[in-house]
Amino acid sequence: MRWSIFSVGVMGAGLLLIAGCQPKPRPIRFGEEVCAYCQMGISDPRFGAELVTQQGKIFVFDALECMVGFEHAELIPVERIHSRWVIDFSQPGELIAAESAEFVFTVEVHSPMGLNVYAVPRGRYVQDPELPRGRVLTWQEVVELVRTQWREGPPRGSPTPQTQ
């Protein structure tokens, strides 16, 4: 089969279009947006999260625990979720994929919803002694922590984490 330059060009443009249409996060507009779960203003660039659907709709949250609460409340079907993003505590305002992050539960920081968990890229906590110390958690442990602490919805006070 012979390919003409036109055919190759059309196929290449089509592939670029498809690749360019992948759902992705966008920067959170701190001081302008409200949390999709608790409706509080999103103001602290050290915390926050985004949930991106397969269709490209973006839900923004003031804290990663609100994203977990939103999912737990089944406000959208889990099969519609494309990706989860969290703010890198060490780079305020910068989103990182939740699956490539590690999470730290500590009394040394106060997150907007009081769970006191922050996220950094996997491996950064061990490499950076300046980060607030606490107990390192996986994403699944964060989900379980939120479910345990938020049985009746977002807490009124802060939990007391145990350090390693």
CA 83 to chain centre: 8
DSSP 163: P
pLDDT for 39 equals 93
pLDDT in tens, the chain (164 residues): 455 565 545 555 454 444 557 899 999 999 999 999 999 999 999 999 999 999 999 999 999 999 999 998 888 899 999 999 999 999 999 999 999 999 999 999 999 999 999 999 999 999 999 999 999 999 999 999 998 887 655 554 433 333 33
Q: HSE (CB half, 13 Å, CA atoms) of 1?
A: 3
Q: At which residue do the structure tokens 């050290």 appear?
A: 46
pLDDT for 16 equals 46
CA 19 to chain centre: 22
pLDDT for 10 equals 52
Torsion, Cα 58 136 41 86, to 10 degrees, reads: -20
Give residue limits of the domains in the chain. 24-149
Length of the chain measured in residues: 164
Q: Is the pTM of this model over 0.85?
A: no
